Amino acid sequence: MPDLILYHNDACSKCRATAALLADRGLHPTVVEYLQTPPDAATLRDLLRKLAIPARELLRKSEPEYAALGLDDPALPDEAAIAAMVEYPRLIERPILVRGDRAVICRPPERALELIA
């Protein structure tokens, strides 16, 4: 199985549940604590390609920066959303599991099974 990478925030219950689901199956991904080591724009573009979603779908709408930065604008270009996530990484939806050239947002955590089954 290709290496697994888990973009993780230990304060997030969904992240902890996803990590536990993987561990229960004997899988131990490389964990990226994305708040301590934020992804750059190129990494975010690569994640979006693997997720096959537009940038705005990776934004956490519940974060204060989402409204404060006007990220709810439907005309917002992907590059503006990416720039916001680079500057404010807590805007990035989580957890994200990457395996090879595919990725899923593990909400719910069982979505991880799409990559490991």
Q: How far from chain centre, in Å, is Cα 58?
A: 7
Residue pair 41/64 in contact by the 8 Å Cβ criterion = no
Phi, psi of 44 (to 5 degrees): -65, -40
d(CA 33, CA 23): 17
Residue pair 22/113 in contact by the 8 Å Cβ criterion = no
Among residues 2, 10, 12, 64, the one annotated as catalytic is 12
Phi, psi of 110 (to 5 degrees): -65, -15
Tokens describing residue 51: 């997720």
106 noted as active-site residue = no
Residue position matching structure tokens 């301590």? 36
Positions annotated as catalytic residues are 12
